[in-house]
């Protein structure tokens, strides 16, 4: 029997929407969320408690390095939501693509990774709006460039970096970052045959 969805306030929906949009396996404290959601820490704390009481979030008390206890919240993953165990991937699904680093395509991809990282670093709006997301994106782009420079790319990695690039292309569809991202996606697919 499914339980009815409780009436949520605008603040509770803002908190829940942020957690859904920034879903990770990790948890957040009210303090951490208050840096990203334009609400007071007290409002966020009340919203988190209501979402927890309603069954949307799990909560765990952890020692705070600064002293005391901090309550960490995470989206409750439904039992039906599958996890992807690493050993489920067979050799067939994880082929290695060898890249000729002297080819024009590889040179263009590496250059585009560099230009895209510069554009993301130069985007004050992205860094201000979502500093954690901006830092994560930069780390993923730097990792992508490093993998391509190795001359060998796993298809599973390619799927992951294309996920990051598709996110950027959508988020910045009307911006230079979106244009560079679409160029990089096309070049990666062309070079790797994906």
- The answer, yes or no, to whether residue 79 has pLDDT greater than 70, is no
Write out the H or E segment, with its range, that includes residue 96: strand 96-98
pLDDT of residue 103: 87
Look at residue 45 and tell me whether its pLDDT is greater than 80. yes
Confidence at residue 87, expressed as pLDDT on a 0 to 100 scale = 45
Burial of 2 (0-12, 13-18, 19+ CB in 10 A): exposed
State the Cα angle at 27 between 155 and 124, rounded to 5°: 70
pTM as predicted: 0.52
Q: How confident is the model at residue 23 (pLDDT cuts 50, 70, 90)?
A: low
Q: Please tell me the predicted confidence (pLDDT) of residue 94.
A: 61
Q: Give me the phi and psi of 47, to 5 degrees please.
A: -65, -40
Separation in Å, CA 104 to CA 100, 110, 158, 179, 189: 9, 10, 19, 20, 14
- 108-129 pLDDT, tens per residue? 999 999 999 999 888 888 878 8
> Which of the listed ranges 89-98, 138-147, 148-157 does the model predict with the highest average pLDDT?
138-147
Q: What's residue 189's pLDDT?
A: 84
Q: Mean of the pLDDT values across residues 34-53?
A: 90
Percent with pLDDT over 70 in the chain? 85
* Range scoring the smallest mean pLDDT among 9-23, 85-99, 117-131, 173-187: 85-99
Question: Mean pLDDT lowest for which of 16-25, 31-40, 51-60, 177-186?
Answer: 16-25
Measure CA 13 to chain center: 20
Give 63-68's long-range contacts (Cβ < 8 A, gap of 24+): none
**Bridge pairing between strands 96-98 and 152-154:** antiparallel
């Amino acid at each position: 029997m499914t339980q009815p969805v409780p009436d949520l306030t605008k603040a509770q929906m803002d908190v829940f929407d942020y957690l859904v949009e920034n879903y990770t396996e990790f948890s957040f404290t009210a303090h951490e969320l208050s840096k990203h959601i334009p609400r007071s820490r007290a409002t966020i704390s009340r919203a988190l408690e209501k979402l927890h009481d309603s069954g949307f979030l799990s909560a765990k008390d952890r020692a705070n390095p600064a002293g005391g206890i901090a309550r960490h919240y995470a989206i409750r993953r439904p039992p039906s939501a599958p996890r992807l165990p690493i050993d489920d991937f067979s050799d067939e699904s994880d082929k290695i693509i060898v890249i000729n680093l002297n080819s024009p395509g590889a040179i263009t991809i590496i250059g585009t990774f560099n230009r895209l990282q510069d554009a993301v670093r130069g985007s004050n709006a992205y860094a201000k709006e979502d500093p954690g997301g901006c830092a994560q994106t930069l780390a993923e782009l730097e990792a992508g460039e490093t993998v391509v420079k190795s001359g060998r790319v796993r298809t599973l990695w390619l799927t992951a970096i294309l996920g990051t690039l598709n996110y950027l292309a959508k988020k910045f569809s009307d911006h230079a970052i979106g244009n560079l991202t679409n160029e990089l996606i096309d070049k990666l697919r062309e070079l790797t045959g994906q």
